[in-house]
Chain A
Amino acid sequence: MSAVPLLKVSDVSKFYGSRIGCRNVSFELYPGEVLAIVGESGSGKTTLLSCLSTRLMPTSGVVEYHMRDGQYRDLARMSEAERRFLMRTDWGFVHQNPADGLRMTVSAGANVGERLMAVGDRHYGNIRAAAGDWLRRVEIEEDRIDDQPRAFSGGMRQRLQIARNLVTSPRLVFMDEPTGGLDVSVQARLLDLVRGLVHDLGLAAVIVTHDLAVARLLSHRMMVMKDGAVIEQGLTDRVLDDPREPYTQLLVSSILQV
């Protein structure tokens, strides 16, 4: 891991009127590092993810990103054009529901190729070859390249969404419950795939999940959120094996009993 953080988050809070979304969250994320944010629904983890990925403007606090040119940029001060460009090149966002992240009525090949076309690739053959290559890497048969995601199973759709995000070689990927809604056996295969890709590509990732097993399998570090605040954070193995906060202990014990 590099010595310079990719993402610097300082004191981020988000209020919806008087209701707290998340408050005073600070952390740094390094290149190649996978951070899991865990907590029950309503704990603020999705709000935090939205603030990090510029889908929501934080009420206060700063999120800075280490651009490819070596500069740190305050995401809130970037123009919308710059933010959107970042989102389709250097970042990825994997939604819980693949339908939110895919074009369901457009072929798998075009779904993967869209980002390439968006950044100016104008050679059909090359775009198609890249799309085919990525389908293979996410274990979708290449002959499905002209099929629409509507004809895909849930697990395939999720893998397609991942390919669509990774085709421009992003450095940072946000994932919102990436295995939610999938069968257990399908989940296991997807987790294996994500773990392999993250490792091979040296991706940094922020993964929101309520599933501690996902956090254990994928993340290096984790943060536990409750009522909008981070109550415990540390290396994943440490937090799971030796939870310090009573709430984390409860969370860990309740999950393990299942």
Chain B
Amino acid sequence: MNDLANYNFAYLDEQTKRMIRRAILKAIAIPGYQVPFASREMPMPYGWGTGGVQVTASILGPSDVLKVIDQGADDTTNAVSIRAFFQKVANVAVTTRTADATIIQTRHRIPEEKLGEGQTLVYQVPIPEPLRFLEPRETETRKMHALEEYGLMHVKLYEDIARNGHIATTYAYPVKVEGRYVMDPSPTPKFDNPKMHMSEALQLFGAGREKRIYAVPPYTEVVSLDFEDHPFEVQKFDRPCALCGAENVYLDEVVLDDKGGRMFVCSDTDHCEDRRAHGHAGAMLAPAAKESQEAAE
């Protein structure tokens, strides 16, 4: 049984890759449309990025440079695991630097650094159907997409405002792509939604368990759904990153002690490290950091 360990470049057999590439091409041709594909069983669990992994495996070439992030960070365990997988089965170069990567596989974040032409962002998607929690039936939601019946989506937003005074969707915030398909951006915080709009990079979305691939080609209009009198807005943090001092970035809250001590740091670890390497310093790193300031927060 020792010859079992012979796997093709990037794990998937070439026939499977061709099938997935065809699905990707179709997805690019119809921005925002969920293309069904014959998702394979992968050697990691469903829900852990099998869709993203299959997309990455199908587009990966020997000269690519791969970056994998989870929650914005390169060193979260699942990101480490997926990166190690591709190093093992494709012997591909890996990086944590956003600018150096040709393919970035991500779960839940879009890097802070603007992506450019020639880069591809591969999203891991748990539930590709933006209408799923309003209508559980696939047969019905496909029809709703086909007929562009998206009233229900706004019903959900209406309910948010009626109940809470504002739209209470904070992540997986639905978008309309190129004026046609309503799409789930995967569970990224809505903070990242504007980055999808007119992005220079190709954005591919893979949902392994649900067997769907969709795409946003470069320079495509991506609009977050809203009301005229309750426009879409992103989260704002009322302080900069405690480590690198960056503003207008997404921050993780870190609990420091059991007395309510908190600090807020960049969720994008590469961005944060890069800034610190260039001499930026936040309150926690600056020599004159006032501890009382944090305790008050």
- Of the candidate stretches B16-24, B58-66, B224-232, B275-283, the one touching chain A is B224-232
A124-167 to B contact mask, C-beta < 8 Å, 1/0: 11011000000000000000011000000000000000000000
A104 CB, nearest partner CB in chain B, Å: 13
Please name all residues of chain B whose beta carbon is closer than 8 Å to the beta carbon of A125 when the two chains form the complex. Answer: 229
> B149 to A122, Cβ gap below 8 A?
no
CB of B290 closer than 8 Å to a CB of A: no
Report the separation of the CA atoms of residues A128 and B228 in the bound assembly, to the nearest whole angstrom. Answer: 13
> Chain B's nearest CB lies how many Å from the CB of A102?
12
Interface residues of A in 150-193 (CB under 8 A from B): none
B161 proximal to A (CB < 8 A): yes
The segment from B151-159, B192-200, B204-212, B246-254 that touches chain A is B151-159
Shortest distance between the CB of B273 and any CB in chain A (Å) = 42
Q: Which A residue sits closest to B146, measured CB to CB?
A: A81
Does B147 count as interface, using CB distance less than 8 angstroms? yes
Other-chain residue from A80, A81, A114, A146 in contact with B155 (beta carbon distance below 8 A)? A114
Is B296 interfacial (CB 8 A cutoff)?
Answer: no
> Cβ of A146 and Cβ of B158 under 8 Å apart?
no
Question: Which A residue sits closest to B147, measured CB to CB?
Answer: A81
Does A235 touch B at the CB level, under 8 Å? Answer: no
Q: A117-B154, A122-B154 are in contact. Are A146 and B162 (CB under 8 A)?
A: yes
Other-chain residue from A81, A114, A115, A128 in contact with B162 (beta carbon distance below 8 A): A128
Interface size on B, residues (CB 8 A): 20
Contact A122 B228 (CB under 8 A): yes
Report Cα–Cα, A107/B158, bound state, in Å: 9
Q: Is A118 an interface residue (CB 8 A)?
A: yes
Interface size on A, residues (CB 8 A): 23
The reply on B137 being an interface residue by CB < 8 A is: no
Confirm or deny: B163 has a beta carbon within 8 angstroms of a beta carbon on chain A.
Answer: yes
Determine whether the beta carbon of B155 is less than 8 Å from that of A123.
Answer: no
Across the interface, do B149 and A124 meet the contact criterion of CB distance under 8 Å?
Answer: no
Whether the pair B147, A84 counts as a contact (CB closer than 8 A) is: yes
Whether A127 lies near B158 (C-beta < 8 A) is yes
B230-A117 in contact (CB<8A) = no
**Docked CA distance A10–B149 (Å):** 31
Residues of B within 8 A of A145 (CB): 162
Asked if B152 and A124 make an inter-chain contact with CB atoms under 8 angstroms apart, the answer reads no
Q: Nearest chain B CB to A126's CB is how many angstroms away?
A: 8
**How far apart are the CA atoms of A183 and B194 in the complex, in Å?**
54
Docked-complex contact B229 and A124, CB < 8 angstroms: yes
- Asked if residues A110 and B159 are in contact (CB atoms below 8 Å), the reply is yes
In the complex, the answer to whether A118 meets B151 with C-beta atoms within 8 Å is yes
Of the listed residues A114, A119, A124, A145, the one surrounded by the most CB atoms of chain B closer than 10 A to its CB is: A124
Residue contact B228 to A110, C-beta cutoff 8 Å: no
Q: A84-B149, A118-B149 are in contact. Are A124 and B155 (CB under 8 A)?
A: no
Which residue of chain B is the closest to A103 with respect to CB atoms?
A: B155
Distance (Å) between the CB of A46 and the closest chain B CB?
Answer: 23
CA distance A123 to B158 in the complex (A): 10
The answer for the CA separation of A59 and B151 in the assembled complex, in Å, is: 32
* Closest 10 pairs (CB-CB, A-B): A118-B151, A117-B154, A124-B227, A117-B151, A81-B147, A123-B228, A110-B158, A110-B155, A125-B229, A146-B162
